[in-house]
């Protein structure tokens, strides 16, 4: 009986559960329809979502394809870049070897291809320093008695220009008024008097500029070795040479001179860089220049850059570095390595990227470094006088590159070195302030006109230059007047 009751109880419970299940199905008919709708809505949503994903994927694929084609054509253009000089040369040959009309001087702006030479963002070439085999110290340094078979002749410089009766509008200029005939004759390595800056006008007319007080002139006249730089127009911060890397001998025997204008001095003083009682900021002797000779600050900066033999008249050697650099090497070790050991009178590094003047012209115009018409006039003049292209594959070219990185120059103040510096400055004074455009022409013309009197110029690697200095960015652009 107990088992029967238990089975009955179990049977009753099972029946109640089954009834509950059937009742729930009857009552949930509406819920079943809602469930079916939800599933149908989910299928529609998934369909729309997959369609949007497909469209987005297609759009991304199109964009990647366009970008890839752009990179392909840009690479094609860059591969053709080296052929541009040949095309320009052919056009020049068609026009003739001399400039015969004003029409030939008219700049052809459409020859500039804006994207030529551009490197895709994120793929710019990186440049690094390389080893320089300096001596371990300056203690064993001995200046060679005759380390270079230099050509010796006497150079004098035009100090004054008189007003002529034919020119009532005469205005004195710092670079003077050199005629084309005087310019041509100045390239001969001989006893001569030539224009080389610091030209004054007749008595009673104002100074032509770059005025320095007598105390600073006396200091510079005693320098036997000079390291110099300049900041005009407050375009840079003051970079002090790294004292711990410079020997005590060089500190005692080398003049470190930084040329400033009043504006820059005021700016540096507001930043806490004021000269001490000796007129020094660190190793730099501060020399204030009054009455800048040019409105273009870049052109003004060429005065101390090229004419160190005139600013330091008794100096035997000089080193120039742009103000964007900090000197990290001993000056005497630099002179021994680049001049004495190479038997050179003049040392300058090649450009890190460009080697032909044709390329440099296009780059200057693409970046609007100077007025395009002025660049064309200068370049056409040089082509008409036989400026060639460098061929890196030929070992007999006089220079490994026709474009220098002119921010670091080491010089012996020999007659040929001084003549070259004057000639290069005169080109900057006559044409544009972009000295990289006139370097090769000046050197090759000097060499061509003096085949029996060699000029020992050594062009070293750009990576060696980077080992000597630390590079910084400019504080700001110099003067926008340079593009006028």
pLDDT at position 180, please?
Answer: 96
Q: Provide the domain limits for residue 238.
A: 113-355+390-483
pLDDT at position 87, please?
Answer: 37
Residue 319 lies in a domain: yes
> Which residues have C-beta within 8 Å of that of residue 433, sequence separation ≥ 6?
296, 298, 299, 302, 370, 482
Three-class SS state of 400: coil
Residue 483 has what DSSP assignment? G
Residue 376 lies in a domain: no
Please, which contacts does 137-145 make with residues 24 or more away whose CB atoms are closer than 8 Å? Answer: 137/247, 138/247, 138/249, 138/250, 138/330, 138/332, 138/333, 139/249, 141/332, 141/333, 141/336, 143/340, 144/340
Pairing of strands 280-281, 284-288: antiparallel
Q: Which residues pair with 260 in a beta bridge?
A: 231, 288
CB-CB contact of 395 with 352 (8 Å): no
Residue 47 lies in a domain: no
Residue 76 lies in a domain: no
Name the CA dihedral angle for 309, 311, 312, 317, rounded to a multiple of 10 degrees: -40
pLDDT at position 355, please?
Answer: 86
Residue 351 lies in a domain: yes
Residue 161 lies in a domain: yes
Nearest to 150 by CA among 458, 454, 449, 450: 454
Per-residue pLDDT of the chain (484 residues; tens, 9 = 90+): 444 344 444 444 444 544 544 454 444 455 455 545 555 556 666 677 778 888 888 888 787 776 666 555 554 444 433 333 333 344 344 333 333 333 333 333 333 333 333 444 444 567 888 989 999 999 989 888 877 767 789 999 999 998 765 656 788 999 999 999 999 999 999 999 999 999 999 888 899 999 999 999 999 999 999 999 999 999 899 999 999 999 999 999 999 999 999 999 999 999 999 999 999 999 999 999 999 999 999 999 999 999 999 999 999 999 999 999 999 999 999 999 999 999 999 999 998 889 899 999 999 999 999 999 999 999 999 999 999 887 767 777 888 899 999 999 999 999 999 999 999 999 999 999 999 999 999 999 999 999 999 999 999 999 999 999 998 887 765 443 333 3
The secondary structure of 79-109, three-state, reads HCHHHHHHHHHHHHHHHCCCCCCHHHHCCCH
Domain count of the chain?
A: 1
DSSP string for 421-461:
HHHHHHHHHHS-S-GGGTHHHHHHHHHHH-TTS---EEEE-
Residue 437 lies in a domain: yes
Q: Which residues pair with 404 in a beta bridge?
A: 350
């Amino acid at each position: 009986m107990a088992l029967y009751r238990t089975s009955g109880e179990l049977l009753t419970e099972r029946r109640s559960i089954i009834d509950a299940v059937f009742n729930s199905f009857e009552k949930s008919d509406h819920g079943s329809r809602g469930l079916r709708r939800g599933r149908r809505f989910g299928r529609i949503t998934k369909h729309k979502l997959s369609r949007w994903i497909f469209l987005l994927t297609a759009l991304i694929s199109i964009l990647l394809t366009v970008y890839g084609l752009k990179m392909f054509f840009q690479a094609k253009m860059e591969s053709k870049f080296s052929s541009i000089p040949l095309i320009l040369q052919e056009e020049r040959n068609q026009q003739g070897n001399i400039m015969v009309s004003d029409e030939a001087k008219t700049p052809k702006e459409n020859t500039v291809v804006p994207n030529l030479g551009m490197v895709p963002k994120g793929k710019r070439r990186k440049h690094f320093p390389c080893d320089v085999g300096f001596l371990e110290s300056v203690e064993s340094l001995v200046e060679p008695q005759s380390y270079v078979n230099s050509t010796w002749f006497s150079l004098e410089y035009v100090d004054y220009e008189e007003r002529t009766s034919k020119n009532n509008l005469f205005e004195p200029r710092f670079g003077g008024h050199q005629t084309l005939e005087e310019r041509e004759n100045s390239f001969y390595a001989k006893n001569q008097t030539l224009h080389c800056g610091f030209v004054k006008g007749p008595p009673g007319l104002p100074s032509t500029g770059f005025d320095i007080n007598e105390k600073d002139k006396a200091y510079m006249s005693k320098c036997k070795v000079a390291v110099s730089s300049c900041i005009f127009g407050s375009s840079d911060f003051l970079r002090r040479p790294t004292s711990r890397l410079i020997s005590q001998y060089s500190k005692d025997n080398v003049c470190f001179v930084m040329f400033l204008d009043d504006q820059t001095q005021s700016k540096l003083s507001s930043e806490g860089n004021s000269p001490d009682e000796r007129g020094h900021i660190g190793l730099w002797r501060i020399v204030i220049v009054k009455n800048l000779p040019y409105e273009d600050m870049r052109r003004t900066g060429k005065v101390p850059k090229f004419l160190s033999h005139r600013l330091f008249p008794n100096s035997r050697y000089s080193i120039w570095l742009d103000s964007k650099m900090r000197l990290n090497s001993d000056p005497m070790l630099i002179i021994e390595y680049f001049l004495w050991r190479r038997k050179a009178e003049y040392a300058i590094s090649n450009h890190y990227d460009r080697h032909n003047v044709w390329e440099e012209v296009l780059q200057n115009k693409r970046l609007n470094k100077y007025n395009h018409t002025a660049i064309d006039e200068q370049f056409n003049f040089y082509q008409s006088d036989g400026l060639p292209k460098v061929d890196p594959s030929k070992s007999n070219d006089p220079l490994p590159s026709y474009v220098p990185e002119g921010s670091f120059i080491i010089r012996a103040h020999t007659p040929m070195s001084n003549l070259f510096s004057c000639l290069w400055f005169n080109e900057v004074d006559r044409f544009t302030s972009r000295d990289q455009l006139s370097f090769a022409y000046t050197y090759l013309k000097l060499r061509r006109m003096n085949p029996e009197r060699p000029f020992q110029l050594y062009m070293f690697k750009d990576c060696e230059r980077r080992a000597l200095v630390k590079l910084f960015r400019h504080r700001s652009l110099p003067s926008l007047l340079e593009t006028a």
